[in-house]
Amino acid sequence: MKKIFLIILLFIFSLTVFSFYFENNIDYKIYIVERMLNGEVLETAISPYPSDKKLNTNVVFQIPYFYTNNYELIPIFEIKNNKSGLKLDITKGCNFKLEMYYGEKINTFWFVLGRYKTDWSLLEHGVFFSDSLPYVNGITGGFTTNFLLGDMGIYFGAYSFNPYLTEEELKIQKMHIDGNSDRRSINEGYYDPYKTLLIHRLDLKPIKFFRVSINELNLIGGKFPDLVDLNFMNILHNTYGEGYSNALFAIDGELVPLKGLKLYGEFAMDDFVVPLTEAGAESYKPTAFAWGYGIKLAFKRNNSYYIAKYENYKIYSWMYNRWQELLKFTGRYIDDKIYDIPMGYDYGSGIESQLISLEYIKNMIDVKLMFEQVIQGEINLNTSYFDTDLKGNTETWEGPYGKTKEYYYTTINLNINNFLFNVKLEKTNIVEYNLNYIIKF
């Protein structure tokens, strides 16, 4: 009994008072820039991420006025303390949505559980798992330790997504498509109402100004994950199941060669046709890559931060796609209609793009101006994966393929004390805007 009591006491005293950094928080942006100015990279690119700052309980009301064609969560009420948060949002279809999370930190191990927004990227638009999703349901966590001459972080994520299917999608989901599936004998696919994403991540920081990260993503659809799938010490490639899995590999990193200068990027591979061993299989699962890279400059004057960055992207035509809806790397959100949002790059697949961003931060003031050029081809996530003629044509793989469309976006974000204003234009046409007045207690 005494041993149990001592273990409980040790557990209680090991708990750390902390709050979470979320990606668009001004505090988190300042934290990232300060690390740059000190010539250091981050421990990881994941947010939310534990902060050493103590947070007083905040109660916030927001009065919104907005317009959008996308699925957006517009906050109207929020209460947050060190370890938890609750937020009430409204959508375009005037439906209410509740976000909530709870987190804990025990020495270097931490986790956050609930419904919240997450991002696993330093890019404006991550290419494998990004903040393109309005929220996720699940758990994020990990721990850091020393290895050889540097630091190592091991992180994980498990998220469930809406498995709703239309009649046509359910018909396809029931089909036996993968020849190696263990259900080939009954000529039936996996179609139980589950869609789950599992992520393993290893961060290596051998020196303070360089970090590289290796990521494995396993999307399980039509089947509830079993214990083998949920074991985060497994290599996902070894738990891959034909017919109910879609795996993706990604690597990302950052380098701060000079104080205030950062180079960063990501590469993701959904599929790769090996010419020597898979010749003739081009129309089955075509090569699908995605990458993005950037350069960021920052300096500080009179407690003000000035930040500029340039980013470039390439998303192959068949990236994130699959025959079955439950095996596409998209999250389904339902409001006034069905919204299928890529888990990676915001605008989908078959794209080349670049952007320039300028930002000014001081205390509770954040002003950001961003210019983007996006070139998109005919093949995207709405293109049928059954089209073997298109898939078998290797000229379609890299993209943008066919007749392309060019978009020029300008985004202005203002966060000034109790006032938020965001507007996005395509040339001179307003795509979306959001005006919020904030009342804090």
Answer whether 162's CB lies under 8 Å from 331's CB: yes
What's residue 16's pLDDT?
46
pLDDT, one tens digit per residue, over 149-207 is: 789 999 999 999 999 999 999 999 998 776 666 676 677 889 999 999 999 999 999 99
Give the integer Cα–Cα distance in Å for 10 and 183. Answer: 49
Q: What is the pLDDT of residue 53?
A: 79
283 band by pLDDT with thresholds 50, 70 and 90: confident
Mean pLDDT, residues 313-327? 96
Of 309, 203, 207, nearest to 262 (Cα)? 309
3-state secondary structure at position 29: helix
Q: Cα–Cα distance between 191 and 176 in angstroms, integer?
A: 10
In percent, the amount of the chain with pLDDT more than 70 equals 89
Nearest Cα residue to 100 out of 79, 71, 129, 72: 79
Q: What is the pTM of this model?
A: 0.91
Per residue in 19-28, pLDDT tens? 888 888 899 9
Residue 14 has pLDDT above 50, yes or no: no
Complete domains list, the chain, with CATH: 18-440 (2.40.160.130)
- pLDDT of 8 strictly over 80: no
pLDDT of residue 230: 66
Q: Quickly count: other Cβ atoms within 10 Å of residue 240's Cβ.
A: 15
Q: How far apart are CA 436 and CA 416, in angstroms?
A: 11
**Does the structure show a pLDDT above 70 at 312?**
yes
**Strand pairing of 351-362 and 338-342?**
unpaired
Residue type, 242: E
pLDDT of residue 58: 84
Q: How far apart are CA 253 and CA 36, in angstroms?
A: 14
CB atoms within 10 A of CB 280: 8
Question: Residue 157: beta bridge partners?
Answer: 140, 199
54 pLDDT tier (thresholds 50, 70, 90): confident
Cα 206–Cα 208–Cα 214 angle in degrees, nearest 5: 50
Mean pLDDT of the chain: 89
- pLDDT tens track for 207-246: 999 999 999 999 999 999 887 666 665 655 545 566 788 9
In this predicted structure, what is the pLDDT of residue 3?
A: 43
Q: Which of 6-10, 152-156, 282-286 has the highest mean pLDDT?
A: 152-156
